[in-house]
């Protein structure tokens, strides 16, 4: 849960680096929250109101942690836009978020595993 809250605390921080664990734990908690909110939405007959509000509330933290994850692999945050390429863009972004980050300091900061 701390991984999720740490990302929310760095709400619109697009600088630095994010470890794989930070990114994927945030993604896991976000998925769980969306599923719970969708179930509540469907049971109340208000779908997609709660899911939409949650999506808007977590838009900047999600962008921020993804950009920091790309920084950890030595890539610019602009690589996030590759997800807009049909069919292969999302797969390429997934691969970028799965691979291990640079083990040494890069242009975006020190190795987050070392600290």
Answer whether 52's CB lies under 8 Å from 13's CB: no
For residue 27, the model assigns a pLDDT of 98
- With beta carbons less than 8 A apart as the criterion, state whether 109 and 99 touch: no
Spatial neighbors of 7 by CB under 8 A, at least 6 apart, are 18, 22, 26, 61, 64, 65
pLDDT value at residue 114: 86
Q: What is the distance, to the nearest Å, from the Cα of residue 104 to the centroid of all Cα atoms in its chain?
A: 22
User: What integer pLDDT is reported at residue 23 of this predicted model?
Assistant: 97
Low-confidence ranges of the chain (pLDDT < 50): none
Extents of the domains making up the chain = 2-98
């Amino acid at each position: 849960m701390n991984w999720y809250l740490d990302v929310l605390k760095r709400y619109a921080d697009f600088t630095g680096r994010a470890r794989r664990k930070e990114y994927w734990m945030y993604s896991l908690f976000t998925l769980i929250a969306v599923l719970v909110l969708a179930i509540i939405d469907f049971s109340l007959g208000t779908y997609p109101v709660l899911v939409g509000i949650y999506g808007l509330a977590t838009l900047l933290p999600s962008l921020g942690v993804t950009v920091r994850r790309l920084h950890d692999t030595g890539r610019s945050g602009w690589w996030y836009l590759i997800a807009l390429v049909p069919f292969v863009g999302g797969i390429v972004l997934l691969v970028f978020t799965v691979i291990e980050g640079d083990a040494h300091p890069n242009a975006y900061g020190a190795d987050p595993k070392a600290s």
